[in-house]
Structure 1
Amino acid sequence: MKTLTLKPAILLMTGLLALGSAQAQNTVQQSPLTPEHFAALDRNKSGGVSKEEYEVFMRESFQKMDKNGDQRLTPAETSGVLTAEQFAAVDANKDGAITLDEFIEHVMRDFDRYDYDKDGQLKP
């Protein structure tokens, strides 16, 4: 089975876009994520984004993307943030919508995959 993963930079960018950061929107077109982007998510200033910080951020991102508040993301709500292929990969039960559980399960699995040194943090 083919697994589509979102690299940490893409995952963080997805969240930044969902939160409406004008800087993030410009960054998508112009340059990769910088240490400053990571620092903004590093709430405890440990030098990396912990699993807990990341999950809180991604839950907030889900809520921002969920424009109608129904706890499900549609392709329309995620257009410009997720490609059709990424949406399909996150929609685990293939019902055409992404629930909070599906979203969190996917992004946290990707967090674990890209925590290369297994210290519980993503770093720039």
Structure 2
Amino acid sequence: MANGQVTATGDYLSRMDGDGDGRVSLAEYQAWMLYAFERMDANGDGRLEPSEQPGGRAPLLTREAYLARLAGRFNRQDANRDGYLDARELAAPPQ
């Protein structure tokens, strides 16, 4: 998925919302946010070694652990607990 820089919440919503239903599911959120992991994973092995991460000192991070971290962030942002993020929840400061 090509991910360009976006500056408005509506832009995030429209780009993350793969099925066009006006809200972002966990799967859509993870698919959008996974680009950062994939860009850092220089050797494509699904693991970020310390040398592949900013600063070079972070512990090993697997793709699965990164997806779990994203799920935690998603769940904290999902203020109404409906399993989706709407524009208001996307615009809210990170929890």
Q: TM-score, normalised by structure 1?
A: 0.55
Unaligned ranges ≥5, structure 2: 88-95
How many angstroms apart in 2 are the aligned matches of 1:101 and 1:71? 8
Aligned match of 2:64: 101
Deviation at 1:20, TM superposition (A): 5.7
- Pairing partner for 2:15 from 35, 40, 51: 40
Deviates more, 1:34-43 or 1:51-60: 51-60
Amino acid at match of 2:11: E
Deviation at 1:58, TM superposition (A): 3.5
How many residues align? The count is 86
Alignment deviations for residues 72-93 of structure 1 (CA, whole Å, 9 cap, x no partner):
12455343xxxx6xx95xxxxx
Deviation at 1:98, TM superposition (A): 0.8
Aligned match of 1:72: 47
Q: TM-score, normalised by structure 2?
A: 0.69
How many angstroms apart in 1 are the aligned matches of 2:40 and 2:86? 25
Aligned match of 2:83: 120
Amino acid at match of 1:36: D
Equivalent positions of 1:55-70 (< 5 A) are 55-70=30-45
Amino acid at match of 2:32: F
Q: Percent identity?
A: 30
Unaligned ranges ≥5, structure 1: 1-15, 89-95
Alignment deviations for residues 29-51 of structure 1 (CA, whole Å, 9 cap, x no partner):
xxx54311221110111111111
Deviation at 1:61, TM superposition (A): 4.4
How many angstroms apart in 2 are the aligned matches of 1:78 and 1:115? 28
